Amino acid sequence: MHAAQDGARYEFLLDQMKKLFLSGIAALLLATGTAHAGQRVVRQVTIPTGLLPPPQYDKPYDGELEIQFFSNVADVGQACKGAGEGVGCTYSSADRKHCRMFLVTEDVMKREGKNYAFALRHELAHCSGWTHPKTTEGRHFNLGETWDKAEGGKWIAVKTRMPIPTLPVLTRILPASPPVVCVTPDWKSESCENKKKDIWSTARPFQMNDVPKKVER
């Protein structure tokens, strides 16, 4: 009889201990979850930015424009001679009537994480006379902040959606190179086979008649 009672008491105590143990785990998990819930998790996210032209230059360009596209960043870098910003550059005449632009293609810009419409809009502003320093000299800008040294240009996210700007009526576009592209005087593509001959291929032998006659005075 005593053995049966002792066994029942032992099972009862064991059951109580299990309940207390499980209750302790539940309380610990609850406390831990509450502690994590009360903490602020701060993540720093870097958003690529670009300089939007100020209003006085952010307008349609009405001069004569020539655009030459390139199939890779290295080639456009050589064409720009270090004056570009990775994907393109622009050279404008003093009177702003003529502008020449070197750009990588839209596909290359996408691979580089750039916005074609934004880049074109930026370079067209240079055609209109906009200038800005080549670097920020280590200064960091926030989204929406303007830059006095860039005549009030505003920093915005590079991937901001915007329409492709309208090109002037007098726009000539040279297809992407490499490969080498040959064009006619009116900028229409043509075969490069006829361009391979040098000037000496059509030269004739020297003749005495080529010597200018002496003029008596």
Per-residue model confidence as pLDDT tens digits over 120-172: 999 999 999 999 998 898 899 999 999 999 999 999 999 899 999 999 999 99
Q: Identify the pLDDT of residue 185.
A: 62
Is residue 22 situated within a structural domain? no
Q: Give the structural domain span for 155.
A: 49-184
Is residue 118 situated within a structural domain? yes
Is residue 97 situated within a structural domain? yes
How many domains does the chain divide into?
1
Is residue 126 situated within a structural domain? yes
CA atoms of 89 and 107, how far apart (whole Å): 17
Is residue 122 situated within a structural domain? yes
Q: Which string of DSSP letters, residue by residue, matches 153-190?
A: EEEEETT---PPPPPPSSEEEEEEESSP-EE-TTS-EE
Per the structure block, which two tokens stand in for 208? 């005495």
Q: Identify the pLDDT of residue 13.
A: 43
